Amino acid sequence: MVATEFHINTPRLVISHLDSNNDAHGDFLFTLYNTAQNHARGSGLASREAARAKIDSFSHIFTTGYGRYLVSLQPPSPASSSSPSEIAATTTAAPLFSQRSKTLTPIGVVSMHARNFPGAPRAPDVGYGLLPAFRGKGYAAEAAAALVKWFEENRGQMAFFGFCDEGNEGSKGVLRRIGFEDHGVREFRGLYDAQTVLTGCVFSKGVSGELGEWGIK
């Protein structure tokens, strides 16, 4: 994947595409996937090269929007450290986002996945993961809400799911804060393959009718 100008701004964050040609992105994803929490789930990455290959596997994000996005902190406001003349000069000579993004501080990822396996849930699901130092600050909810809104406004996608382990109180809190309905513990399949049946907490937004009609037991 290559750098693009796509980005979503929130009050505190910037959501953008990952770039496998940016060594900092590959290094960051390697670090994120090898936190203790991800290792416990068996989702660690063996090397930085594996991280870059994983970024390249998200190439469908350019056409469908589905995939994993980088979450970074907004840079400090120029007003906090610059004179009016410096601010004006900075505004008129602002570089492209693909250049500015190299100076941002990445803190996590947010994702939207449409599952295509037989029996999979019939609406995409939102996900998120942050470095430990940035958890508990509302960043996951801010990023997830922004990505859901982007899909509503730009893709016309109005129904969403969110899944998490029963004991993951942090993720459950995030989904509640962004307006998802809690359906309790359910069974579902098709997230990673067509055969594996998973049990976990199911949340939804914009899903009408019986959950069974949407591939959730």
> Quick check: is 85 in a domain?
no
Q: What is the number of domains present in the chain?
A: 1
pTM of this prediction exceeds 0.75: yes
What's the domain range around 45? 7-75+95-154
pLDDT < 70 positions in the chain? 1-3, 36-44, 78-94
> Quick check: is 135 in a domain?
yes
Mapping DSSP onto H, E and C, the string for the chain reads CCCCCCEEECCCEEEECCCCCCHHHHHHHHHHHCCHHHHHCCCCCCCHHHHHHHHHCCCCHHHHCCEEEEEEECCCCHHHCCCHHHHHHHHHCCCCHHHHHHHCEEEEEEEEECCCCCCCCCCCEEEEEECHHHCCCCHHHHHHHHHHHHHHHHHCCCCEEEEECCCCHHHHHHHHHCCCEEEEEEEEECCCCCCCEEEEEEEEECCCCCHHHHCEC
What CATH number should be reported for the domain holding residue 145?
Answer: 3.40.630.30
pLDDT digits (tens, 9 = 90+) for 153-194: 999 999 999 999 999 999 999 999 999 999 999 999 999 999
